[in-house]
Amino acid sequence: MLRLRTSEEESNSSEISRLRHVVLQNDDQLVDEMLCQEIYKKVINCRGGWGIAGTPLHAAVSKGHLSCLQVLLAHGALVECVDVKAQTPLFAAVRGKYLDCVLALLRAGANPNGNPSNNGSPVLTAAREGDVEILRQLLIHGAEVNSRSKVLLWTSSARVSSGPLYLAAVYGHMECFRLLLLYGADPDYNCGDAKLLSSVKQPKTVLEMCLRHGCSVEYIQLLIDFGANVYLPTLIIEKSTKQNEAVELLLRERGNPKALTSQCRLAVRRYLKKINKIHCIEQLEMPTSLKNFLLYKTPPLIVL
């Protein structure tokens, strides 16, 4: 049986409650004064509160109280503490869409991938919610771009293992979708966990799921541009106009090999991903035109 509180948390419940209350009121000065007292200092990382019991740091980020978060960190609050669902303060900040809190936690050394015992991850949450800037900061700080959920999702006809690309696509977050690909997301992604995949009948790639969900042709084009295997999907033609446009694009791509320049770009990007430098393209010592090419940036028009 899951024990929601430790013996220390049980015996100091009143102090924990008082500290949490002041944090939730966003009284950073009083929080600072309280944490100078030994009685409150010893419960700074204790869990309490109704529902999903969390630490005072969880309470601060749940409301986006940056000043209280900073005071707690200054007094030694553990940035990797977890609530009873193994959610870190960073996870809570991402879920609440509090960018300033996310940045403060990342700068304090928070793991951008969250806690491995949790079913989700900050990247999955940001991709699902469509928060581009938070997603960008997580990826800049080294978050796993092919993060996966431990929970299989049910579609209309199959169970699938969801990744950030899948969530960004089905929720219609184009900017997040493109950002994930730019940071090296696998365009053929499906969960790499053999045990988990064995429980899924006919695992589907992102391209197949985009077709199944009737995502716009822009999603299909991006997957093709970033090197998705166009021969993997089993095409099921339905009456959806969007899907028909996407299928026509896919069939044209199957009949026309990629240009050598595109193949070179993909090869360089794959190598940069392999050596964990895909996020450093802007810092590479090469002409701006080549960096823009690797980042899929359209060159500016020159007016004569």
| pLDDT surpasses 60 at 233 | yes
| pLDDT surpasses 80 at 157 | no
Tens of pLDDT, residue by residue over 42-100, are: 999 988 866 567 899 999 999 999 999 999 999 999 999 998 888 999 999 999 999 99
pTM here is 0.86
| pLDDT surpasses 50 at 151 | yes
Question: What does DSSP assign to residue 242?
Answer: H
Where are the chain's structural domains?
1-118, 119-273
Q: Mean of the per-residue pLDDT values for the chain?
A: 85
Tokens describing residue 244: 């028909």
Note the pLDDT of residue 52. Answer: 61
> Which position has the token pair 């869409």?
97
The yes-or-no answer to whether 1-118 and 119-273 have a common fold is yes
| pLDDT surpasses 90 at 11 | no
Beta-carbon count within 10 A of 225 CB? 17
Given this structure, which CATH class describes domain 119-273?
mainly alpha
Give the homologous superfamily in CATH for domain 1-118.
Answer: Ankyrin repeat-containing domain (1.25.40.20)
Helical (H) or strand (E) element with 236: none
For the ranges 16-20, 50-54, 155-159, the maximum mean pLDDT occurs at 16-20
| pLDDT surpasses 90 at 184 | yes
Tokens describing residue 125: 């949450």
Averaged pLDDT for residues 237-244:
57
Cβ atoms of 203 and 248 within 8 Å: the answer is no
Cβ atoms of 234 and 192 within 8 Å: the answer is no
* DSSP characters over 40-71: HHTTTT--BSSSS-B-HHHHHHHTT-HHHHHH
For the ranges 180-184, 248-252, 276-280, the maximum mean pLDDT occurs at 180-184
Q: Which of 86, 154, 165 is nearest to 123 (CA)?
A: 165
| pLDDT surpasses 80 at 303 | no
At 3, the pLDDT band (50, 70, 90 cuts) reads very low
